[in-house]
Amino acid sequence: MKSLKSTFSIFLLFLFSLGQTKAQSKEELSYQEYIQNILLFHPLAQSIKLNEQNAELQNMVSKGLLDPLFYTDFANKNFNEKEYYSTVSSKLVIPTTYGVDFVAGYNYNRGYFLNPYDNTNSDVLWNIGIEANLLQGFRNNERSIGIQQTALYAQQFLNQSKLQLNNLIYSATLEYLNWQALYQMQNIYQENLELSMEYAKQTKVLYQGGEKTAMDTEEAEIYLQKAKNELEKNSYYLLKATAGVESYLWYNSGSLKLAQNTVPQRQIPQWNIPEPNANDIANNPFLLEYQQKIALSKLEQTLKAEKLKPKLKLKYNPLFSNLNPSGFNGLQNYTFGLELTTPILFRAEKAQVQLGELKIDALEFELANKTRELEIKLENNLALQEKLKTINEISAKNIVGYKKLLDGEIELYKFGESSVFLLNKRQESYITEKIKFLETQLQLNIERLTYTFLNQTLDADPSL
């Protein structure tokens, strides 16, 4: 794409040309400048960038799941000028991706009516140890699965950005192609009008010379009015197409309006059309969306399957009375505990696992169906492109032939050897074929655009 400087210059052209009522020299709005404006300023393009920020934040969430945790608890009771108890408990927990936490902390408790369970004598009682889930949650737990899920969520946001951006470029390009085709048709209908005006003028001269009748001049005038009508009708559609293009043009937070002398580029933009490739299709963002849903469902399934195991939690913390290593008395002082929890029948857990399997199967069937649909669309699109190319090649040859016939008929008409009717038929065939050529070319370009859209590579195509 062109530089930002080029883009801003075209914006200035728009902004300072809004008040013009009389078109001067024509200014071309190239397809590249049009798309660059959309990518830089269109509200949807701006909102798509939020997905990229969401992806970055999801990565931060993933890292935050392993952040150390600090707990502290203080309780104090004084009554009748007597300290019943004063307890302080603090703990630092360092989590891991496994179901094991490293724990360090201290307790300092005193008072006349202190629960003997909380007694720490006169020293601070330190502890360092582990808390571990030995069965359920040891390898697969909400923390480890959560890290994988947030990574997938980040990929989803980026994938959605690509899908949304391709949709935006696709719809905007359709408007541009329609505007471009109708502008070129306007030139053809203008040519048709000028030819009709020339014939009407010649017919009047021949009538005055006695070589044509009043009926001939009337017929020539009818064809002239018909040509004017066709030009006006196309002007109507061109005006609508211009409005369609303008609806995609923005600058900062305001919409832009094309100057009256702004025209589309003459040459139709081309897109790189690679042959369908299985790997390319597998990595298509549209299919990746389903693959990511399946991956997330499988992670959920892993957690559900983990709940079929009993919960067995181990807590072991050696104790020592001060931070000096001499205060540590081997394994004589410690706290130790085991906690076991298990359902008897596991009916709810088994049902959840089976429901998860059904969900994954349904998503995989849907992915297989969407993959095949995409393959068929791509194959059919290439076949349609070949047909349209053939039609256009024939049409281009016909235009040359019809032009020769028209030129020949014009010469005959000048010498009074042809009629207004025959001349008009030659002209009509020539103009109609040129319009058909443009319509077929437009359809071919739409098919090329659609192929690139189906590949979800519009935003990355270097030919843009």
pLDDT at 15 over 50: no
Residue 135 backbone phi and psi in degrees, to 5: -115, -95
Q: How many CB atoms lie within 10 A of CB 279?
A: 7
Residue pLDDT, tens place only, 410-462: 889 888 888 889 999 999 999 999 999 999 999 999 999 999 888 877 765 44
Region for residue 263 given its phi and psi (left: phi exceeds 0; alpha: psi -120 to 50; beta: otherwise) = beta
DSSP states along 257-304: ---TTEEE-SSPP----PPP-HHHHHT-HHHHHHHHHHHHHHHHHHHH
Residue pLDDT, tens place only, 323-377: 555 555 556 778 889 999 988 888 988 999 999 999 999 999 999 999 999 999 9
Residue pLDDT, tens place only, 254-311: 788 888 889 999 876 677 676 666 667 888 889 999 999 999 999 999 999 998 999 9
pLDDT at 64 over 70: yes
Query: What local confidence, expressed as pLDDT, does residue 324 receive?
Result: 56
- Percent of the chain at pLDDT > 70 equals 88
Burial of 53 (0-12, 13-18, 19+ CB in 10 A): exposed
Residues 6+ apart with CB under 8 A from 408: none
Stated pTM of the model: 0.82
* Nearest-angstrom CA–CA distance, 125 and 8: 69
Token pair of 292, please? 């990511």
The DSSP H or E segment spanning 356 is helix 347-414
* Nearest-angstrom CA–CA distance, 38 and 170: 12
* Nearest-angstrom CA–CA distance, 262 and 399: 28
- 210 vs 382, higher pLDDT: 382
How far is the CA of 248 from the CAs of 148, 173, 257, in angstroms?
Answer: 38, 10, 10
* Nearest-angstrom CA–CA distance, 147 and 169: 34
